[in-house]
Amino acid sequence: MHCSDRTTHWLTPLSGFRTASSANLRVSASLRQATIACLVMLAAIGQEATNAAEPVVAKAQQRRVDVLKKISPAVVAIFGNGGQGGGSGVVISADGYALSNFHVTSGSGDFMKCGLNDGVLYDAVIVGIDPTGDVALIKLLGRDDFPFATIGDSDKVKVGDWAYAIGNPFLLATDFHPTVTYGIVSGVHRYQYPAGSFLEYADCIQVDSSINPGNSGGPLFNDAGELVGINGRGSFEKRGRVNSGAGYAISINQIMHFLDHLRSGRIVDHATLGATVTSDGDGRVVVSSILESSEAYRRGLRLDDEIVSFAGRNVRSVNQFKNVLGIYPKGWRLPLTYRRDEQKYSIKARLRGVHTKADMMPKQGPGSPPKNPHKEDPAKKKKDTTPEAYKHMFVKKDGFANHWFNQEEQKRLLPLVTRWGDFGSLNGLWKIAGQTGDSDDFSLTLSDRGLGLQMRNDVFFQPLDGSDFLDEPPGSGGLLVAMHHLRLMLQKQSDGFSEFYYLGSEPLDLTGEMVDVLVTTLTGVETRWYFARNPAAFVGMSCQITEDAEECEVYFGTVDQFENRFFPGQIIVRSGGREYLRLNVSQLDLASSP
């Protein structure tokens, strides 16, 4: 059979089919033409979409480039003084304060070298550390116009938000130009259990932006280029020391609660309520144990009470409670709402510390900075290269990362006390008189031998002969002792007390405003001194005669001029969360030593 014959034979039945189905053939041809037309149209639409998308994509890309250009100058590559250790950080103020991780700075020394992407290597000194929260504050030296990051609001971060992690992974940024990774927020309000007894990550941000050893201490930025966290931990277990897609950043809101504490140069501690909680069979978060010495107990919290909210955040699980508790410093007084027998109660409780003073000198814990692949042989270790001009900025003292910065904060606040006038020579009898808020006459006397208050037909006395300090008048928390300490502060400032330091800041119980706090101790009595910020003023104090007693809170309603000195014209006295007394001062007689 020839090829042509075979072809004719093969076409014969098909030819017959076409003859028998000519109508179908016409439909098929029309469908084919319509399909082709649709494909052409879709291709055109696709091209138009591509043409339209290209500017959108290019604009988004350019926006990322612009954001990174803006934020990268504030990112710090940290190298230990002498070439030991290192990691990342971020500058947060023009005068050079920068944040990093405790586990980075603990391996880098008291002085370190910090590179910015301007190509300059700056000297830096440790300021304060938070071992539990794994945060450190350092200060870059040599300029007062450093580029710095804009602080964001980590409570506004949502799952799915874009996030930049920037830093010095594996200490590769030897040219000080940081590495950038881009990803999304994978989770918020994560709780990471402590590594050992420290490094508890509460209320942290989980991201899939690559975080590797060396990224520790570096910034996490949102898509707008705002600082929302400090990178510190990753889920590395059983996966090697490389990114696994689950990294964790300490929320910037937590760090801001601690920032002034860190500026104090201290080793700061986190808070506990003095109570533990558990979930009951109904899913409620209830108190499972409580210290009777805690302020929460003194103000009404008991076993089996249900925790409803803490610090303004609703509590529906044990993890939620740990998250919100873990972001506050020791010593803050915060609101707590609890339920008992279907009745709600609200109190404010001052938070206790998680650790003892002995605990607060930790060794470097888990999460140590990576080894520097470029460091020299230990036998050739470089000597300390810190310039002599900066060495005075580190002062060693127990309980402090760097006491020098605490001294500087004291110098900032003490003029707010001394501007009331010169009280230094007035060591004789002080007599303060006027009327109470109930229009009763009062007379308060202060001397080195004893303290007295006459009010209505009552007389209260506190000897200063080594006797125990008393809650006089009863229920005031020890007003007489508080006024004695005010006298010492006005006369002698730091010389009047056995311990004197800047604490940081905290919300004032009376108004809720943030105030700076100095702390003094003398013969077992601790007093907090409060300084408003805007305008700057000495506004009050709280005195605690024993560790487990209710405080006597003294607020200066007004400060008036009495001849050539200033003194509170109105004294508001509170204790146990309630106002106890108001004293309106009309007479002030201050005698010199006889």
Q: Select which of 72, 88, 100, 103 is catalytic.
A: 103
Amino acid letter, 213: P
Pairing assessment for the beta strands 150-151 and 226-234 based on DSSP bridges: parallel
Based on the residue annotation, tell me whether 377 is a catalytic residue of this protein: no
Burial of 560 (0-12, 13-18, 19+ CB in 10 A): middle
| Cβ-contact 250, 191 below 8 angstroms | no
Instruction: In whole angstroms, give the CA distance from residue 116 to residue 89.
Output: 10
**Interatomic CA distance for residues 195 and 509, integer angstroms:** 34
What is the spatial distance between Cα 107 and Cα 85, in angstroms, rounded to a whole number? Answer: 6
Count the neighbouring beta carbons within 10 Å of the beta carbon of residue 365: 17
Residue of 100, 154, 216, 294 with catalytic role? 216
Whose tokens are 């994560």? That residue is 190
CB within 8 A of 145, min separation 6: which ones?
Answer: 94
Catalytic residue among 110, 130, 134, 269: 134
Give me the amino acid identity at 487.
Answer: R
**Helices (runs of H) and strands (runs of E) counted in the chain:** 9, 32
Separation of CA 35 from chain center: 63
d(CA 91, CA 575): 41
Q: Is 547 helix (H, G, I), strand (E, B) or coil?
A: coil
156's tokens: 């506004």
For the question of residue 103 being annotated catalytic, the response is: yes
134 has catalytic annotation: yes
Q: Which residue has the tokens 């994978």?
A: 186
Asked if residues 308 and 315 have their Cβ atoms less than 8 Å apart, the reply is yes
| Coil vs helix vs strand at 347 | strand
> Which residue type is seen at 174?
T
38: left (phi over 0), alpha (psi -120 to 50) or beta: alpha
Please give the backbone phi and psi of residue 28, each rounded to the nearest 5 degrees, phi first.
-60, -40
Q: Which of 105, 97, 101 is nearest to 151 (CA)?
A: 97
Buried b (16+ CB within 10 A) or exposed e, 100-135: bbbbbbbbbbbbbbbbbbeeeebbbbbbbbbbbbbb
Q: Rounded distance, CA 262 to CA 509, Å?
A: 22
- Tell me the DSSP string of 74-117: GEEEEEETTS--EEEEEE-STT-EEEE-HHHHTTT-SEEEEE-T
Residues identified as active-site: 103, 134, 216
